[in-house]
Chain A
């Protein structure tokens, strides 16, 4: 999505600021998966992520004029905005973290009737698909146990392919700290998963 399209996105933003509703639709269509994915990997709840994604785009919609096309990429601006809302969300929910497992059945419509888009290129055989689902839900659970500071750094790096400098700008921390958080986050994840594996065996 990024690289070349940077100019394209900026063009869309300009058009949108002039009141082009179609441009806004395109912006949302281009970016909502990414925002949703970030929220989902950070919170682990699809209901929360849906609400949060909506909140992010509402905020973008309202403050589009404060985005300076010349100064930075729309992508990092969007990521920083999402990240701020995630941090707010985390603070708000810190006291109810303990109830998360109880709510899991409520919040997870994956098994429920809600229509879900299948991913393009996922036409592999169902068994492999199911195994991958299982595995990623295991990893996701472990990821939720990684402390939020480390979690966000690892997600931005490994899942969203942002470079260290970009992450440093988004999180407003020095690049050295970014690197150390990323590797500490990865180490914590590996430890959690391996402990998990031992318990299962």
Chain B
């Protein structure tokens, strides 16, 4: 039937000489039921004879009606206990209206007798079935699973093991104790971490100092050897770090000698001071960044250790 009629502004009717498709549509329902009078039917049939589209629709509508009538002959079987179920449910709901009853007690008595006849287990069984069906609905099951996993994951990241939890952990005192312990543990771990870091920096600074000292001290002794050996390689030494004693040619040495007063003093404070800087920058931040290592590396035995300690 689509939208043939939508573009037709005239009110469709069976009057007038010729029927349009919109009028046919409007009377299709009655036609399929045999509800039109003779004159109307003749006019419909005249249109349909000339309009294949309407003829097809008319045929379909008529067959659809026939299918429905077939369905009507076979009324769905009503579950036998439905009436009692309804009465029992309305009985539970209390008075039906503003006038709570004079005859209310009589009603209740009648209905409870009815409920007894039907037998209590039926209701129980029914509610269990309904509950089971609700729980097994895929959507609900999925949501429950998601919630469970996200909670477990969060707890896990916080260092809580579900298995090692006890009821006593949920008392306010127990929770405070656990939190304090966790904080202290995390704190000491952080302190240890930065102490290690500091040690590394200090060692590094020392090594650099030493290196610079060896760079500046030995040149006079080493210089003659290289001068005689390979004069052309003078400039490449800077790229070669490590065990080799620094090799310089005299011109370079001369140039360096001029900078000597600044050179040894300038890099040392920078490098050492750099390490100190870093440490100073890190140490005050200790309190702020304290949680990070705790989250990144959750103590797997956080609670267990505490319990067995």
Contact = CB atoms under 8 A, between A and B. Distances in A.
Interface in A128-144: 132-133, 135-136, 139-140, 142-143
A166 interface: no
Question: Which secondary structure dominates chain A's binding surface?
Answer: helix
Contacts of A190: 60-61, 63-64, 67
Nearest to A15: B103
A142 B85 CA distance: 30
B96 interface: yes
A189 B64 contact: yes
Contact of A62 (B82, B96, B104): B96
B68 A158 contact: yes
B67 A180 contact: no
B259 interface: no
Contacts of B81: 115
B96 A140 contact: no
Given A18-B99, A58-B90, A32 B78 contact: yes
A135 B68 CA distance: 11
A189 B67 contact: yes
B15 to A, nearest CB: 16
A53 B73 contact: no
Nearest to A194: B63
Interface stretch (B24-32, B143-151, B178-186, B228-236): B24-32
Interface of B: 1, 5, 25-30, 32, 57, 60-65, 67-83, 85-87, 89-90, 93, 95-104, 106-108, 110-111, 130, 133, 137-139
11 contacts: A17-B96, A18-B99, A24-B107, A62-B93, A114-B80, A136-B73, A179-B27, A179-B29, A183-B29, A186-B61, A187-B61
